[in-house]
Amino acid sequence: MGRWIHGILITAALLLIGGFLSRSVAQGPYKLKLPLGLQEEAAYIPPDNPLTIEKIDLGRQLYFDGRLSADGTVSCATCHAPDKGFSDSRPTSVGIRGQVGERNAPVVFNRLFSREQFWDGRAASLEEQALGPIQNPIEMGNTLDGAVATLSAIPGYRKQFKQVFGTDVTAAGVAKAIAAFERTLLCGNTAFDRYEDGDDSALSESEQRGLELFQGRANCLRCHTGFAFTDERYHNIGVGVDKPNPDPGRYKITKKESDKGAFKTPTLRDIAASGPYFHDGSAQTLEDVVEFYDKGGIKNPNLSTDMKRLLLTTPEKADLVAFLKSLSCPDLKVAAPVLPPTSPPSP
């Protein structure tokens, strides 16, 4: 990886390896072309959900379709908007009837390299994740039967499900189509990637100093490791522990005392576009994030042993932020598709 430090980084890649890009012979095959900086050998596509052109197209429509929600107002793109870094620019997301959730919307790109989903890892796959918000009473407020009934009443979707899956509209099909589309959302070719590829002019002097801090004294590599800039693990860094009722995080899933207040390490790719930050959206800017780490987080019984005061100078903090901004993805653009009309046009 050019100048990138290998020893620690290979761990994340090994954790992510689990499959290879698949092709389908039953329909139009789709071969992902990964942008600079991403690693094909770390990609995972379940054997029972290979990528096809038709399936991805169906998933793109479902991703943007508010009719998956109970009142027709909330889609996947509502909380994971392409023009907002695939988040929603809110501390915590808002669902149907203006209900406010408890967690910040995680980004959905580069999920090709990840299995467990959500801040607490409660979904074992993208397919499982896709059905969660539909049934969440605060988010889409629907049922799977309700969503399937709505889609089944739309001729265009009935036709596409027959073409893609050979079945009527099903919840499993919805999940597979959305997951297939999300696996095509890839963030690479950043200034950092070009620098690692040998373009010395890709990073400014400030960004290069920030990279040195990132790799060294700032200790960012400990968790934000590998090409994906995440170890895909769960850590307690103290966010929210000082609230009256702290979010239990990973503990809610594992019931392990050591997992209290632990949340999944988010990717840092395109981080400048997806604020506010942390699982509760409590950091408004990247400068706020750096300040939080510089102070060593917030002490609590389960605080990660990697959380220590950094004592960075003001110029060093600025350099670190500059480097984080160099991880912005210039090619990650997705336009909303034309959705099938609820009723066929009149003859």
Fold classified for 17-182? Cytochrome Bc1 Complex; Chain D, domain 2 (1.10.760)
pLDDT at 191 over 50: yes
Summarised one tens digit per residue, pLDDT across range 94-106 is: 999 999 999 999 9
Q: Does 11 score more than 50 pLDDT? A: no
Per-residue pLDDT reduced to its tens digit, 243-294 = 999 999 999 999 999 999 999 999 999 999 999 999 999 999 999 999 999 9
| 336-345 mean pLDDT | 86
Using pLDDT thresholds of 50, 70 and 90, give the confidence band for residue 242. very high
pLDDT digits (tens, 9 = 90+) for 105-163: 999 999 999 999 999 999 999 999 999 999 999 999 999 999 999 999 999 999 999 99
Distance of CA 137 to the CA centre of its chain: 22
Angle at 74 between CA 161 and CA 132, to 5 degrees: 65
Domain ranges of the chain: 17-182, 191-325
Tokens representing 232 are 């895909």
Higher pLDDT, 29 or 231: 231
The fraction of the chain above a pLDDT of 70, given in percent, is 91
Q: Give dist(CA 67, CA 41) in Å, integer.
A: 36
Please give the single-letter amino acid code of residue 62: L
Residues known to be catalytic? 139
Rounded CA gap, 275 and 269, in Å? 12
Contacts of 195 (CB under 8 A, 6+ apart): 2, 3, 202, 203, 208, 211, 326
What was the pLDDT predicted at 26?
A: 39
Least Cα distance to 267 among 238, 231, 240 occurs for: 231
d(CA 287, CA 298): 17
Residue 19 pLDDT more than 60?
no
Stated pTM of the model? 0.90
Q: How confident is the model at residue 347 (pLDDT cuts 50, 70, 90)?
A: low
CA distance between the termini of the chain: 59
Is it the case that residue 177 has pLDDT exceeding 60?
yes
- What is the model's pLDDT at position 29? 73
Residue 204: Cβ-neighbour burial (10 angstroms; 0-12, 13-18, 19+): middle
Q: CA 62 to CA 60: how far, in whole Å?
A: 6
Strand partners, 123: 117
17-182 and 191-325: same fold? yes
Predicted local confidence at residue 346, as pLDDT: 57
Instruction: Tell me: pLDDT of 182 over 50.
Output: yes
Residues 239, 278: Cα–Cα separation, whole Å? 7
Asked if the model's pLDDT at residue 16 lies above 90, the reply is no
- Count of CB atoms within 10 A of residue 289's CB? 21
CB-based burial label for 213 (10 Å; 0-12, 13-18, 19+): buried
pLDDT (0 to 100) of residue 28:
58
pLDDT for the residue 343? 75
Residue 52, token pair as written in the block? 């096809």
Query: Over the chain, what HEC string results?
Result: CCCCCCCCHHHHHHHHCCCCCCCCCCCCECCCCCCCCCCHHHCCCCCCCCCEHHHHHHHHHHHHCHHHCCCCCCCHHHHCEHHHCCECCCCCCECHHHCECCCCCCCCCCHHHCCCECCCCCECCHHHHHHHHHHCCCCCCCCHHHHHHHHHCCHHHHHHHHHHHCCCCCHHHHHHHHHHHHCCCCCCCCHHHHHHCCCCCCCCHHHHHHHHHHHCCCCHHHCCCCCCCCCCCEECCCCCCCCCCCCCECHHHHCCHHHCCEEECCCCCCHHHCCCECCCCCECCHHHHHHHHHCCCCCCCCCCCCCCCCCCCHHHHHHHHHHHHCCCCCCCCCCCCCCCCCCCCCC
For the domain made up of 191-325, the CATH class stated in words is mainly alpha
Nearest in space to 292 (alpha carbons), one of 242, 346, 347: 242
